[in-house]
Amino acid sequence: MDTIRGVCMIYEKIQKIQSQPVMEKILRFFDGNLYPLIYAALALICSFTGLEVAFFVLTAIVVVFTAIFSKDSKPLIAPLVLVVYSVSQKHTPQYPYNSDYLYRTSVLATMGVLLAFIAAAFVFRMIVYKGQKNIFKSKAIALWGTIAFGAALVLNGIFYKGYHYYDLLLGIALAVSFVFFYIYFYNTLEWNKETGIYVAKILIVACGVILIQLAEMLIFDGVIENGTINKHILNLGWGLSNNVGGMLAMFMPACFYLSYKADAGWKSGLYYAFGFVVLLGVALTLSRTSLLVGGVALVAIMILMSIRGRHVKMVRIFNIVLIACGIIFCIVFADKLVELFEHYIDKGFDDSSRFQIWKNGLLNFLKAPIFGVGFYTPIAPDWSYNIENWFFPDMYHNTIIQMIASCGVVGILAYIFHVAQGVVLMFRRFSIERLFYFFVVFVLSVMSLLDNHIFHVFPALVYSMLFAVAERDFENTPEKLKEQVL
């Protein structure tokens, strides 16, 4: 009883602080549209100057402050999406920079302390704030599938003879990414009709940051050699070419959602055109999977928006003009384009050893079919990617094979359960917002059948946040819409 009284007193004090004039202005800033732009600009600057650790400190201050004092968890979305892009090329441990900066004891200790403060702030928020949602008392559609998926990740490789404590650490990190933030956003986000637009704008800002970083590298860093893009040295600091292409493809549907939602035709046209610019960025990363899946999603969106929607005429005219200009451009500059994208022609449909990787994954599954062999058992005894990527192990480049090999039958059944509930969530009581969320999740999930994206922490964070927002949108979507929305 004393504990409950103490929690109530803390919450009342926070409310008094929130009502102070100065605090109200600060919180309005973090609730507004200028804050994500400023945050993105700082992330971009730090990625060019090598000041990512200072940016991490700033991010921790913002996250802790808003977690404690903001009435809405909306200010967390910008750091969740954008913080990773502050990592600089000069400090990346990956080829061709091979820096040990992020491995230094002082840097690791700093990041550990910052994460501890952030975790404490999240727990504080979940305990102290009252009158907010409780997902366990709701009818959240994807809850138990997501929890089952997280539990399977934590249990990866348990009882296998080669089990390593790293398996447990990575399993917990992935489970937190998928489960905790899904629950946290569901409980703390103040949903309204503008939530989808706010999320989409941040994804578009992220596309802008990535495209600027990519353009800088292509123009000034010697990535284009003799008219050809050299994929092997295309590293933006926070990710290699496939990571960059994957992020752009994943966020691309946000452009078309905002195009659909725009009131003015010219705004709709700008957002629509920017979606194609993002896909061009994907193509320039030479990521075949990202271009293929992103291209399929783009064509599907083009067809949908040219059939039904708020700006059908504009979309149809734009599509016709774009196709015509694209054909002419490809004919006139055929030689240059072949030279620039030589990698696609050379690689073609080459599997890049994926079939062999998947075969080894199935062989590993047979060693421990119930809970798998864990994430840190080598794909093959005498083979490795030899990619320096912090504590992440080699992955199987296929979510299904990954779950079977690393988490066994328990893992694949949990993942199927999670996906099935996710499909129900996205399409029951249809809304255009959840169609947007579906396309983002779809692109990420399908790309992850050929590349490892979904098990990288930051795509997983966006994934779980979108599931939470989709849950809140579902709850606020009437069973029978009064008007046709698509």
Angle at alpha carbon of residue 178, lines to 375 and 186, rounded to 5° = 170
Let me know whether 57 and 102 are in one domain: yes
Let me know whether 252 and 183 are in one domain: yes
Q: How far apart are CA 390 and CA 455, in angstroms?
A: 14
Sequence-separated contacts (24+) of 270-279 with Cβ below 8 Å: 271/204, 272/305, 272/311, 272/314, 272/315, 272/318, 273/318, 274/204, 274/207, 275/301, 276/322, 277/211, 278/207, 278/211, 278/248, 278/249, 278/251, 278/252, 279/248, 279/249, 279/252
pLDDT for res 48: 94
Q: How far apart are CA 252 and CA 464, in angstroms?
A: 18
DSSP 294-347: HHHHHHHHHHHHHHSSS-HHHHHHHHHHHHHHHHHHHHHTHHHHHHHTHHHHHH
Q: How far apart are CA 23 and CA 287, in angstroms?
A: 46
Let me know whether 378 and 466 are in one domain: yes
pLDDT for res 480: 59
Count of domains in the chain? 2
Let me know whether 289 and 432 are in one domain: yes
The answer to whether the CB of 245 falls within 8 A of the CB of 291 is yes
**Cα dihedral value 256, 258, 264, 269, nearest 10:** -30
The answer to whether the CB of 467 falls within 8 A of the CB of 422 is yes
pLDDT for res 385: 67
Domain boundary among 99, 114, 131: 131
Domain boundary among 113, 131, 149: 131
Let me know whether 41 and 142 are in one domain: no
The position carrying tokens 């293929």 is 292
Give bridge partners of residue 240 from the DSSP assignment: 235
Let me know whether 219 and 313 are in one domain: yes
Which pLDDT tens digits describe the chain residue by residue (486 residues)?
555 566 667 877 888 888 888 998 999 999 999 999 999 999 999 999 999 999 999 999 999 999 999 988 999 999 999 999 999 988 888 877 888 888 899 999 999 999 999 999 999 888 887 656 888 888 899 999 999 999 999 999 999 998 988 899 999 999 999 999 999 999 998 888 889 999 999 999 999 999 999 999 988 888 888 888 888 888 888 888 899 999 999 999 999 999 999 888 888 899 999 999 999 999 999 999 999 999 999 999 999 999 987 888 888 998 999 899 989 988 888 888 887 788 777 777 777 788 889 999 999 999 999 999 999 998 888 776 666 555 678 889 999 999 999 999 999 999 999 999 999 999 988 899 999 999 999 999 999 999 888 988 889 999 999 999 999 999 888 775 544 444
Let me know whether 115 and 156 are in one domain: no
Q: How far apart are CA 31 and CA 9, in angstroms?
A: 25
Which among 66, 199, 261, 136 is positioned nearest to 473, based on CA atoms? 199
Sequence-separated contacts (24+) of 13-21 with Cβ below 8 Å: 14/68, 14/69, 14/128, 17/69, 18/69, 18/71
Let me know whether 413 and 328 are in one domain: yes
Give 249's Cβ-side CA count (13 Å radius): 34
Let me know whether 41 and 154 are in one domain: no
Largest CA distance in the chain: 78
Let me know whether 300 and 266 are in one domain: yes
Which structure tokens are listed for 386? 């030899």
Domain boundary among 89, 114, 131: 131
Let me know whether 118 and 140 are in one domain: no
Residue ranges making up the domain that contains 3: 1-131
Which among 182, 198, 257 is positioned nearest to 30, based on CA atoms? 198
Let me know whether 385 and 451 are in one domain: yes
Cβ-based neighbours of 330, under 8 Å, separated by 6 or more: 337
